[in-house]
Amino acid sequence: MVDDLSRRFGQRWAVARASFSLPRGEALMLTGNNGSGKTTLLRCLSTALKPHVGTARWGGVDLWEQRAACRPKVSLYSHASALYEDLSGPENLRTWARLGGYEPRVEQRLAEVGLELRPEPVRTYSAGMKRRLALARALLKEPELLLLDEPFAALDPDGRTLVLDLASRRRAAGTTLILATHIPEEAAKLCDRRIHLESGQIVEVA
């Protein structure tokens, strides 16, 4: 449940009075132009940003106030890949698993995103390969709430199909999804509802 959630940068409100409910297991699409507030909203829900006003609750718990307990259950897949460029793909996953305290399952995660156990450093990967590895990283913790910020960026048609397939599998396992995108026709294959943002405000719910 998101209630009156607002976040500003300086004097500008990036998200203003956003309110909506999200039943467990549902898939919600966020649309809007660049600067409409989609990424800021997702970062607040991921506990990367603290809302200035309002609350976001998950399972009856305030995400920000109980962020230490919530973070193992919430995962954000964003444009910022958060990868260590000098480490290989497998080394990245092992490092993130160790930092987060969860089972790495490196071979399984890499196979899911169509990557091999490559020994080369991530800086040698193509943009699409980095996006696939970042998706594997986001799925390490098997989240209950998966936030996807422009998940189709830098991916070819096969990569976009892969994202939808993995997201669909996570949803079938009970994960709730919020997907922000500029390609609604792709996201519509997965999502039940759509929220459209303009200048940080929800202007349409469909």
What is the model's pLDDT at position 164?
A: 94
Q: Are 176 and 26 in contact (CB under 8 A)?
A: yes
Mean pLDDT by 10 residues, the chain (206 residues): 95 95 93 95 96 93 94 89 92 91 87 90 94 92 93 90 93 95 90 95 90
Unique residue bearing structure tokens 């193992």: 72
What is the model's pLDDT at position 141?
A: 86
What is the model's pLDDT at position 186?
A: 87
The angle that helices 127-138 and 157-172 make with each other, rounded to 10 degrees, is: 0
Whether the model clears a pTM of 0.75, i.e. scores above it, the answer is yes
What is the model's pLDDT at position 142?
A: 86
Per CATH, the number for 2-205 is 3.40.50.300
What is the model's pLDDT at position 124?
A: 96
What is the model's pLDDT at position 64?
A: 95
Domain ranges of the chain: 2-205
